[in-house]
Structure 1
Amino acid sequence: MKVTNHRLTTNHVSEKIKHETTKNKGGRMNPQFIIIHFTAGSSATSSINWFKNPNARASAHIVIARDGTITQLVDFNQKAWHAGQSQWANFRGFNDFSIGIELDNPGRLHKVGNRYLSWFKQEYPIENVVEARHKHESTPSFWYEYTQEQIEACFELCQTLTKKYNIQIVLGHDDIAPYRKDDPGPLFPMESFKAKLFGRTGDSIDTYTVNTDKVNVRKGPGTSFESYGTLSKGSKVEFVKSQNEWFLVSLLENKFKDQDVTSGWIHSRLLQK
């Protein structure tokens, strides 16, 4: 699998790659991120057709079917309309600098009696349904599994893209629009996927710098939580996990001499990677 003139190509029969066209796209861009989504649709074909529909006002660079077939709709150096209003750390408007990958999956399911239904009322077999808690939620929901073929195709694609465009960060739609979106959801193995993709060991940590002065380190993910104290501009912290737009971070040194504080919550817009 390789990229030629910003289009995915292959010389291997086993790699299933197709190309479609859509008018739902913007101007030129230089990709810096990869964003993973699920389609929340009934099939890869229906999602591709929707992305080709001018009325949709939406698109993605790639759709990956459940058998691993990859369909490209937008060149990788053009903007696709996959992210909408989006923000992560000090980045905003991810359509302008990210590649969007959509995996065919209905997303969150609803249990009605003994049946598991999508938002569009299609029933899914119980053997592929998993009850799991989304990282931004406190209670579990039902989700439909991804296939091994999808995960493998997505991984190989991301390997190709990160090498071609020197991309260092892969995020979920639920990372950049946590109040609006829940994809790719808890069944996409994001942490192990990224660790394998970038060759990071389990203890590798992302470091951030405070980008303004007097930033509160709070006891919880929100302004309603009490502050331990403030950090000055340039202070370095290590990422632990995210909840909505807040990061739980480890302090690289104890800035609060009267308290034994090793971690706290900071809003992501106040941090720079």
Structure 2
Amino acid sequence: MYKIRSHKLVIGQTGIDFVASPNTGGALDPKFLVIHFTASGPSSDIAKYFSNRQAKVSAHVVVRRDGSVIQCVPFNVVAWHAGLSSWTAKDGERYTGLNRSAIGIEIENWGPLRKSGSGWVSWTGSAVDASKVVEARHKNGGPVCGWETYTDAQIHATIDVAQAVCSHYGLTEIIGHDDISPGRKTDPGPAWDMAMFRAKVFGREEDGPEIFVVRSPTGLNIRAEPRASAQTLRPVPLPDGTRVIVHEHEGNWRFVSVLNEAGQPDFSGWVHGSYLTEG
């Protein structure tokens, strides 16, 4: 759907809405795509906020709840979206301050929510429809809380944008803000199915095995059922770097077979998809 011309998104011959942000750095040679949430409600205009120099923050693209896409910074220019951050790439090279090496997509979403009576409210106290909330613990720790779900329109639009970006710039790694700034940031959070998103963007064959790698410094519990309270199947979590084949999806959960050193399935169970990255 989207193409990139002169480092800006276009549909056919027409550029998408562009709201320029002054909050930029120098030239960008992108190596990664970073996914964020805006921590904002439907009435907020994040692209307009990014256009304010006093905001001192920006991202390359904003995806609204209705799936509309706004670009704020050309893809060859540094945007201020990552902050204090670090990441070890697949080739082992260590990156810090990922503004200098990453394109950022901000998806309109409240993020974490708290209980209020029988419902849920955002950090601003705004009520959030309970049908649009999932309860989960963040992969980096913390209490179980509510998280606003992402709309189908957002998911499809973000996949389309990411496919264009990754294809044009040769990117092979998509990461969350919570991956590069663990403990400081929680976006895109448990409501964003990162494993599914990566698979869709990179076009893995539907009839081939989905092989993923556990990415969790503290390991990943494998459970008898697709829920956080279910019995664990092993006394210790799967170590960081464990390779698995994904057989089945249920929400953010994945039914997997754990591969042994020979690359053969050893045992199976349910794990949370937020802790898996494409292998």
- Give the TM-score band, short-chain normalised: 0.7 to 0.9
Q: CA RMSD in A?
A: 2.5
Query: 1:31-180 counterparts in 2 under 5 A?
Result: 31-43=30-42, 45-89=44-88, 90-137=94-141, 139-180=143-184
The CA deviation string for residues 67-96 of structure 1, in whole angstroms up to 9 with x for no partner, is: 110000000000000000001122111100
User: What is the alpha-carbon distance in structure 2 between the residues aligned to residue 44 and residue 204 of structure 1?
Assistant: 40
User: What is the alpha-carbon distance in structure 2 between the residues aligned to residue 125 and residue 88 of structure 1?
Assistant: 35
Bigger radius of gyration: 1
SS at match of 1:204: strand
SS at match of 1:248: coil
User: What is the alpha-carbon distance in structure 2 between the residues aligned to residue 74 and residue 245 of structure 1?
Assistant: 37
SS at match of 2:178: helix
Name the residue aligned to 1:240.
214
User: What is the alpha-carbon distance in structure 2 between the residues aligned to residue 180 and residue 104 of structure 1?
Assistant: 19
Mapped contact 2:111–2:187 kept (Cα < 8 A): yes
Greater mean deviation of Cα atoms: 132-141 or 163-172: 132-141
Query: 1:9-48 counterparts in 2 under 5 A?
Result: 9-11=10-12, 17-43=16-42, 45-48=44-47
Q: Which amino acid aligns with 1:2?
A: K
Cα pair distance change 1:184/1:44, threshold 3 Å: farther
CA apart distance, 1:245: 11
User: What is the alpha-carbon distance in structure 1 between the residues aligned to residue 18 and residue 211 of structure 2?
Assistant: 37
Cα pair distance change 1:91/1:170, threshold 3 Å: same
Q: Which residues of structure 2 form unaligned runs of 5+?
A: 89-93, 221-238, 244-259, 263-278
- Please give the TM-score of this superposition, normalised by the length of structure 2: 0.73
User: What is the alpha-carbon distance in structure 1 between the residues aligned to residue 200 and residue 209 of structure 2?
Assistant: 10
Mapped contact 2:21–2:72 kept (Cα < 8 A): yes
Mapped contact 1:44–1:104 kept (Cα < 8 A): no
User: What is the alpha-carbon distance in structure 1 between the residues aligned to residue 209 and residue 13 of structure 2?
Assistant: 32
User: What is the alpha-carbon distance in structure 2 between the residues aligned to residue 44 and residue 71 of structure 1?
Assistant: 15
Mapped contact 1:134–1:185 kept (Cα < 8 A): yes
The CA deviation string for residues 209-234 of structure 1, in whole angstroms up to 9 with x for no partner, is: xxxxxxxxxxxxxxxxxxxxxxxxxx
Sequence identity percentage: 39
User: What is the alpha-carbon distance in structure 2 between the residues aligned to residue 23 and residue 203 of structure 1?
Assistant: 41
Mapped contact 2:87–2:180 kept (Cα < 8 A): yes
Q: Which residues of structure 1 form unaligned runs of 5+?
A: 206-238, 255-272
Q: Which amino acid aligns with 1:37?
A: H
- Runs of 4+ aligned structure 1 residues displaced above 4 Å come to 244-247, 250-254
Cα pair distance change 1:74/1:179, threshold 3 Å: same
* Total equivalences in the alignment: 220
User: What is the alpha-carbon distance in structure 1 between the residues aligned to residue 56 and residue 145 of structure 2?
Assistant: 29
Name the residue aligned to 1:219.
none
SS at match of 1:196: helix
The CA deviation string for residues 185-207 of structure 1, in whole angstroms up to 9 with x for no partner, is: 011110011122223455434xx
